Amino acid sequence: MDQLVTAPFRPRRPGRRAARRRLTALAAVGLSLALAGCSGSGDAAPARAATDATAAAAPALHGPLCDALPSGTDPGNPASLTQEPPEAALQWIPVLTMFEAAVRAAGLESELHRASGVTILAPSDDAFELQFSEDNLDELFITDKDKLRGLLREHLVAGSLSMSDLVAAGEVTTLAGTKIPVTEAGGGTSARVARKADTVCADYQAAGARIHIINRVLGNLPVTAGEGHKSH
Q: What is the CATH number of the domain that holds 168?
A: 2.30.180.10
SS3 content of the chain, % helix, strand, coil (to 5): 40, 20, 45
Does residue 175 belong to any structural domain of this protein?
yes
Cβ neighbour number for residue 4 with a 10 Å cutoff: 14
Whether 148 maps to a domain, the answer reads yes
Structure confidence at residue 32 (pLDDT): 45
Under 8 Å between Cβ of 99 and 72:
no
107 close to 145: Cβ distance less than 8 angstroms: yes
**Cα–Cα–Cα angle for 60, 123, 201, rounded to 5 degrees:** 15
Domain presence at residue 92:
yes
Q: Is residue 135 part of a domain?
A: yes
User: pLDDT by residue for the chain (232 residues), tens digit each?
Assistant: 443 333 333 333 334 444 444 454 454 444 444 434 434 444 444 444 444 444 457 899 999 999 999 999 999 999 999 999 999 999 999 999 999 999 999 999 999 998 889 999 999 999 999 999 999 999 999 999 999 999 999 999 999 999 999 999 999 999 999 999 999 999 999 999 999 999 999 999 999 999 999 999 999 999 999 876 554 5
- Non-local (6+) Cβ contacts of 45 within 8 A are none
Whether 176 is covered by a domain: the verdict is yes
The domain of 144 spans 2-35+53-214
Contact (CB, 8 A) for 141 and 152: no
Would 225 be classed as within a structural domain? no
Residue 42: its pLDDT value, please?
Answer: 42
Total of domains in the chain: 1
H-helix segments, 115-196: 125-131, 134-142, 145-153, 163-169
Q: Is residue 44 part of a domain?
A: no
Residue 231 falls inside a structural domain: no
Say which DSSP state 62 is in.
B
| pTM for this prediction | 0.78
